[in-house]
Amino acid sequence: NAGVTQTPKFQVLKTGQSMTLQCAQDMNHEYMSWYRQDPGMGLRLIHYSVGAGITDQGEVPNGYNVSRSTTEDFPLRLLSAAPSQTSVYFCASSYGVVGGYEQFFGPGTRLTVL
Amino acid sequence: DQQVKQNSPSLSVQEGRISILNCDYTNSMFDYFLWYKKYPAEGPTFLISISSIKDKNEDGRFTVFLNKSAKHLSLHIVPSQPGDSAVYFCAASGGTNFGNEKLTFGTGTRLTIIP
């Protein structure tokens, strides 16, 4: 199993550009989520999904969109990039309540917005 | 409002000694707590967890203690090894209902083990 994979590893955008961060998992996990990590802030939840077709907002959802058309994939879209979105983004997945709360994280995408 | 707090940004411990990392929380609805370990340029990896019905959970060199009345938990690493040098995040989850799997993280403590 590859676990949780994220692409790209690094990305530089100009203000106003849009892009999609890809996340995929091959563990048949129902629960998937996106976090951003900023210095001194820990990891903050952006959006999450409890299954295909179901998504909800986390703590810092503004400026981001998600969709979950399959169990495996959970892309994160930046609609119009802003310098405040410069961060490291982590995707995570887990079985959910039934299987426990332990979430498996991808390696991260480091995004810089100029 | 930081619901999960790790007040020590960094900690240095001699190899072989005990490392104690602390975490405080404010939300009394949290009932499941986890510790994650993170190396540079990698995603966090799960280390150990504890349910609110317990006050201690042990896994090899790692033990987590939970004091519900004080809303405080701690991670003990004994003995500390150089490979334990990493950033440690405390995280909490708020309930056993479907959809409550989302985690609230603390800001992390950077642990450095001195050889």
pLDDT at B18: 98
pLDDT at A42: 87
On whether any CB of chain B is under 8 Å from the CB of A10, the answer is: no
Q: B106 and A107: CB-CB below 8 Å?
A: no
pLDDT at A41: 85
- pLDDT tens for each residue of B2-52: 889 999 999 999 999 999 999 999 988 888 899 999 999 999 999 999 989
Would you give the DSSP letter of residue B82? G
On whether any CB of chain B is under 8 Å from the CB of A39, the answer is: no
| Tokens, residue A7 | 């692409």
pLDDT at A95: 80
Mean of pLDDT values over B102-109: 91
Instruction: Give the Cα separation of B83 and B78 in Å (integer).
Output: 13
pLDDT at A101: 67
B34 φ, ψ (degrees, to nearest 5): -135, 155
pLDDT at B50: 92
Say yes or no to pLDDT of B107 above 60.
yes
Partner residue opposite B49 with nearest CB, options A50, A102, A105: A102
- pLDDT tens for each residue of A3-31: 999 999 999 999 999 999 999 999 999 89
Q: How far is CA A59 from the centre of its chain?
A: 13
Say yes or no to pLDDT of A98 above 60.
no
Instruction: Give the Cα separation of A75 and A6 in Å (integer).
Output: 9
Q: B43 and A43: CB-CB below 8 Å?
A: no
pLDDT at B58: 97
Compute the nearest-CA separation of B21 from chain A (Å): 15
Say yes or no to pLDDT of B1 above 80.
no
Compute the nearest-CA separation of A6 from chain B (Å): 10
Selected residue of B27, B64, B101, B105 to mutate for chain A interface (largest A Cβ count, 10 A):
B101
Q: Where are the alpha helices (DSSP H) in B68-115?
A: none
- Interface A–B counts its CB contacts (< 8 A) at 68
Strand segments (E) across chain A:
4-7, 10-13, 19-25, 31-38, 42-51, 54-57, 64-66, 76-78, 87-94, 104-105, 109-113
Compute the nearest-CA separation of B93 from chain A (Å): 8
**Nearest by Cα to A53 from A73, A36, A34:** A73
Mean of pLDDT values over B107-112: 97
pLDDT at A100: 59
Task: Provide the mean pLDDT of chain A.
Answer: 92
For residue A58, list chain B residues with Cβ-Cβ distance below 8 A. 102
Proportion of chain B above pLDDT 70, given as a percent: 94
